Amino acid sequence: MEAKQKSPSPMAWVLGQTGRHKGQYILSVLLAIVGVAFSVAPYFVVIRIVRGLMEGNKDLSCYLVNCVVIAAFWLGRVLFHALSTATSHRATFAVLGEIRKRCTEKLTRMPLGAVLAQSSGALKNTLIERIDSIETTLAHIVPEFTANLLIPIIILAYIFIIDWRMGLAALATVPLGMFCYVFMMAGSAKFYQRTVTATKALNDTAVEYIGGIQVIKVFGKTKSSYDRFVHDAYEAAHSYIDWMRASILPFTFAMVIMPATMVSVLPIGGLLVKGGSLSPQDLVTVIILSVGIITPLITLMSYSDDFRTMKTIFGEVQKILNAPEMVRPEGTDAPGEISLRLQDVHFSYQEKEVLHGISMDIPEGSFIALVGPSGSGKSTIARLIASLWDVDSGSISLGGRDIRDISQEAYADKVAFVSQDNYLFNMTVRENIRLGRADATDTEVEAAAKQSGCHEFIMELEKGYDTVVGSSGGHLSGGERQRISIARAMLKAAPVVILDEATAYTDPENEAVIQRGVSKLTEGKTLIVIAHRLSTVTSADCIYVIKDGTIDDSGTHEELLSRNGLYTAMWNAHMEVKDHA
């Protein structure tokens, strides 16, 4: 019920986003109205000229003055339209920036699983293309549609004052035009949804194709991968082509019929003049005014596509802004004690429970290891401890306090997390490491790099610590990215350090360097390690063996080996691989 209450109509929602810029939009609408009024005003001058000719006025200067007035009106129309457009666009780009900022901030407050469930291509499409699409509504529809709707209403009201029969005649083509318009709109939601789906698929395929180009080439999958890209591009293109093909005839008829006021005004007006119930001068006035409303009507109808797509566009943005958040109190400090406890933790991912009643104690300053087969739930436990997700039931506490009762900022200060999927920003090596602590000096950054085993290779880079690492750290190897991520986490100096298979891509020599650095930097801290090489966690105070989302066993390395269970089988397999290396 709550989600429905947060979903107003598209136009109401978009107007609600204007916030502190509402004054600019009001000014834009007023300027647009003046601009449209200036564009219609020349028709009234033309009426005066025609009436003068009909009455036999031969004063040339009078007509010259009227022509100058018409030119002035058209200049006024251009000026006020430009002012209206500039005002609305200045406000709109500010609003779009605020919406995009709110969306990106929202992603940081959403559970990690909810973000990862969406493809990067789909998110990029929403954050860039969809938000940009709002520009038409705010910058054009709000001022121009309002103005172009108001002026024809005023003109029609004036025609009704002249003669109500001619007012009805001027409106005669509207019902048929509206019928064509409604026929055009039928099925538009289905067509537009197809374009959204096809565009998302194309974005996802493009991101995957570019990101995996090395694998595609190495394994000779160029043709199949390219064929898939071509297929998705064809589908994206034809989703629009088929939509336009289905809409073109009713749209053309609507655009032709609705503004065709002369079709009914001329014959009906002629009959009324012939019958003596309408003066020729009034007929001329109605004819000229009927011509004057054609341009505003066509302008109104030109926004039909924008109205058809409005609901879908805003729906995608609202989906992000209205998504559930990880609820944390503001300004709540973390306790001084750094012991962690997981009590009967259950967690589901995409409606499938992956953790089933996990309980463990992690004393302050202890070294805890999580091991187990791939997909057993080790990384999920680490992410829950790092507060990247919320538990479904049970609790995780820090110093005896549920972490959901601690502010996100305060808890984040206590935990440093390095995952197996290390992300570096397109900045220098120094800036990427300094993300661990913004006020760190260059000396402290380099000290963390040395202790994490990455100083030597950094110095071999073209510009050393000032080398830009590329998008996602693409200029570095996987092992190099991992070591920089570890240096970043170490620089943070958090009392809890979580390493989620953080040495997965490093060779044994570099892993030994990292392990020595980690040991030194985590003295007196709580260390939680997920390792694929069991030899790196034999000194752990407690090793938890995770299997199918449950704790299969726990204890020290020697205790687990003595039980001859899953850990023993894993250890024997590890030693066999090590012996063959």
**Sequence ranges of the domains in the chain:** 18-173+259-321, 340-580
Mean predicted confidence (pLDDT) in 193-204: 79
Looking at per-residue confidence, does 25 or 479 come out higher? 25
Mean pLDDT of 235-241: 86
Mean pLDDT estimate for the chain = 82
Q: Give the whole-angstrom CA distance, residue 418 versus residue 382.
A: 10
The whole-angstrom separation of Cα 503 and Cα 194 is 44
**In the structure encoding, which two tokens stand for residue 143, read together?**
């001022």
d(C-alpha 480, C-alpha 422), whole Å? 10
User: What one-character-per-residue DSSP string does 53-84 give?
Assistant: HHTT---HHHHHHHHHHHHHHHHHHHHHHHHH
Identify the pLDDT of residue 3: 40
The yes-or-no verdict on residue 135 having pLDDT over 90 is: no
- pLDDT class of 505 with cuts at 50, 70, 90: low
Residue 396's pLDDT is 92
CATH 2.60.40.1120 assigned to domain 18-173+259-321? The reply is no
**Token pair listed for 170:** 């001027």
Mean pLDDT, to the nearest integer, of 453-473? 84
CB 171 within 8 A of CB 59: no
CATH annotation of 340-580: 3.40.50.300
Q: 10 Å Cβ neighbour count for 90?
A: 14
Tokens standing for 189?
A: 């939601």
Comparing 543 with 313, which gets the higher pLDDT?
543
Residue 574 and residue 577: Cα distance in Å, rounded? 5
Instruction: State residue 547 phi and psi, 5-degree precision.
Output: -145, 125
Contact 518, 531 (CB under 8 A): no
Question: Is the per-residue pLDDT at 242 higher than 80?
Answer: yes
| Per-residue pLDDT at 150 | 82
377, pLDDT greater than 50 = yes
Cα–Cα dist 115/325, whole Å: 11
pLDDT for position 345: 94
| 544 pLDDT higher than 90 | yes
- Would the CA dihedral through 337, 342, 348, 354 be positive or negative? positive
Whole-number Å distance between alpha carbons of 398 and 338: 6
* Percent of the chain surpassing pLDDT 70: 86
Query: Could you give the CA distance from residue 178 to residue 155 in angstroms, rounded to a whole number?
Result: 19
Our CA dihedral for 349, 351, 353, 359, rounded to 10 degrees, sits at 70
Quickly state the pLDDT bin for 508 (edges 50, 70, 90): low
> Is 4's pLDDT higher than 50?
no
Element (H, E) at 496: strand 496-500
Residue 205 predicted with pLDDT over 90: no
β-pairing verdict for 526-530 and 542-547: unpaired
Average pLDDT over residues 69-93: 91
Mean pLDDT of 64-76: 92
Lowest mean pLDDT among 55-59, 249-253, 402-406, 470-474: 470-474
Q: What is the pLDDT of residue 514?
A: 63
User: Token pair of 395, please?
Assistant: 């609790």
Q: Is 95 a residue whose pLDDT tops 60?
A: yes
- Note the pLDDT of residue 421: 67
pLDDT tier at 516, thresholds 50, 70, 90: low
Encode burial over 505-533: b for 16+ CB neighbours within 10 A, e otherwise. bbeeebbebbbebbeebbeebbbbbbbeb
Residues 449, 433 contacting (CB under 8 angstroms)? yes
Residues 308-335: what's their mean pLDDT?
78
Average pLDDT over residues 184-199: 77
pLDDT of residue 492: 83
121-130, 425-434, 487-496: range with lowest mean pLDDT: 121-130
To the nearest 10 degrees (0 to 180), the angle between helices 508-521 and 478-492 is: 10
Q: If you average pLDDT over residues 425-429, what whole number do you get?
A: 88
> Does 1 score more than 50 pLDDT?
no
- pLDDT exceeds 90 at position 68: yes
Quick one: pLDDT at residue 175?
83
In our burial notation (b when 16+ CB lie closer than 10 A, e otherwise), range 25-60 reads bebbbbbbbbbbbbbbbbbbbbbebebeeeeeeeee
The predicted model scores a pTM of: 0.64
DSSP state for residue 432 in the 8-state scheme:
H
Flag whether pLDDT at 23 surpasses 80. Answer: yes
